Amino acid sequence: MKICVLPGDGIGPEIMAQAVRVLDALDLKLEMEEALLGGCAVDATGNPYPEATRKLARAADAVLLGAVGGPKWDALPREQRPERGLLGIRKDLNLFANLRPAILYPELANASSLKPEIVAGLDILIVRELTGDIYFGQPRGIETREVEGTPQRVGWNTMIYAEYEIRRILKVAFEAAQKRGKKLCSVDKMNVLECTQLWRDIADEMANDYPEVELSHMLVDNAAMQLVRAPKQFDVMVTGNMFGDILSDEASMLTGSIGMLPSASLDADNKGLYEPSHGSAPDIAGKNLANPLATILSAAMMLRYTFNQEAAAQRVENAVKKVLAQGYRTGDIFEPGTNKVGTREMGDAVLAAL
């Protein structure tokens, strides 16, 4: 069980340190090795996804990532920005299935900007395609052309999906729905985009193979509304890379505690990259303020999906629930009457709860 550990930038190293402590405490004979990804990799090698990292990540069974990016690297040329490292490793390892749960922990119900009755008990799984769509489609670029008689800059990208890409992500989504509430909502913009019309057609074709799952379709604009209006109507949602980027972030924020939400990005053989849904929060980096729980819960997802260690995954998840019940809170989820702790102390609490 080889894990490639990528602490990354900003708060990445701090939150990763706590996740590694938790994994160490499980006595599972995990082999962990660290490497660079993102801004720290650019600083050290000029490349956000260096060859050494690539080798290690390919050889490992799973990758555990903190977070990448920060203003420090914003002015760099496109190919050197930290997020190219993230896009690069996703594509390189063929991690096409991004699973993002949006779960509201009862103890944190107040953190949401939505009314309690709208979000209490929220438990959505967003399945986002991660290696196709307009993120990687060719052709793309910016160039100067004659338009309406005037030479001017034009920018363009290509949204594109082949049938096999759509089928494999929908398969993941149907199977996830089958194991959960048996409701799958596929999100597209078929009334405007041919690319997503194909998506809808294929979803309808595949539905016959999953008679227990109730498939519905929703246009992306309506989905963005329904998530605000009545998010509990959803069980599993599946969509393409671009719409998934937007909707999964919107769904996370419904909980008000994005510092609690893990994610998994899987290939066809359940090799995966696991990372918190939140970013690298450069403003609080190095101050022992960040919430390590999303990273710890990402490690739990890794135990479940890649290593098939369901019992260990649940042990970690239960420990997290316990520390919440005990009142431990980092700043992002603090409210009066609870016990504010730092990153390291939160790690201590999880270890104690294990």
311 binds a second copy (CB under 8 A): no
116 assigned binding-site residue: no
| Total interface residues for ligand IPM by CB under 6 A | 7
Whether 321 is catalytic: no
The type of residue at 99 is L
Tokens of 325: 């019940």
In degrees and rounded to multiples of 5, residue 37 shows phi and psi of: -145, 145
From 37-45, 254-262, 311-319, 320-328, span contacting a second copy (CB under 8 A): 254-262
- Min. distance of Cβ 243 from a second copy in angstroms? 8
From 60-68, 131-139, 323-331, 345-353, span contacting a second copy (CB under 8 A): 131-139
74 binds ligand IPM (CB under 6 A): no
Tokens of 143: 């160039």
Q: Which is nearer to a second copy, 43 or 245 (CB)?
A: 245
- Return all residues near 258 (Cβ < 8 A) that are at least 6 apart: 252, 277, 278, 294
144 to 153, 158, 160: CA distances (angstroms)? 4, 18, 24
Whether 61 is catalytic: no
Q: Which is nearer to ligand IPM, 87 or 198 (CB)?
A: 87
Residues 71-100 within binding reach of a second copy (CB under 8 A): 78, 81, 83, 87
189 binds a second copy (CB under 8 A): yes
Whether 322 is catalytic: no
Dist CA 310 CA 131 (whole Å): 27
205 binds a second copy (CB under 8 A): no
Dist CA 129 CA 266 (whole Å): 10
Q: Is 136 exposed, middle or buried (0-12, 13-18, 19+ CB in 10 A)?
A: middle
Select which of 24, 204, 209, 221 is catalytic.
Answer: 221
Given phi > 0 = left and psi -120 to 50 = alpha, else beta, which region is 94? left
291 assigned binding-site residue: yes
- 141-172 in b/e form (b: 16+ CB < 10 A) is eeeeeeeeeeeeeeeeeebebeeebbebbbeb
245 binds ligand IPM (CB under 6 A): yes
| Total interface residues for a second copy by CB under 8 A | 65
- Of 157, 178, 288, 338, the one binding a second copy (CB under 8 A) is 157
Select which of 61, 92, 201, 249 is catalytic.
Answer: 249
Q: Which is nearer to a second copy, 223 or 313 (CB)?
A: 223
Dist CA 235 CA 237 (whole Å): 7
Tokens of 346: 């939160």
Whether 221 is catalytic: yes
284 assigned binding-site residue: yes
Q: Is 2 helix (H, G, I), strand (E, B) or coil?
A: strand
Compute the chain's Rg from CA coordinates.
20
User: Of 302, 288, 179, 306, which Cα lies nearest the Cα of 235?
Assistant: 179
83 binds ligand IPM (CB under 6 A): yes
137 assigned binding-site residue: no
Whether 269 is catalytic: no
Dist CA 331 CA 8 (whole Å): 21
- Min. distance of Cβ 25 from ligand IPM in angstroms? 28
Q: Is 75 exposed, middle or buried (0-12, 13-18, 19+ CB in 10 A)?
A: exposed
Q: Give binding residues as ranges.
A: 70-83, 90, 100, 128, 221, 245, 249, 279-291
Q: Give binding residues for Mg(2+) as ranges.
A: 221, 245, 249
Q: Give binding residues for NAD(+) as ranges.
A: 70-83, 279-291
Binding residues (CB under 6 A) for ligand IPM: these are 83, 86-87, 191-192, 221, 245
Binding residues (CB under 8 A) for a second copy: these are 78, 81, 83, 87, 113-115, 118, 134-135, 137, 140-142, 145, 147-148, 150, 152-164, 189, 191-199, 202, 220-222, 224-230, 242-243, 245-250, 252-254, 256, 258
Active site residues: 135, 189, 221, 245, 249
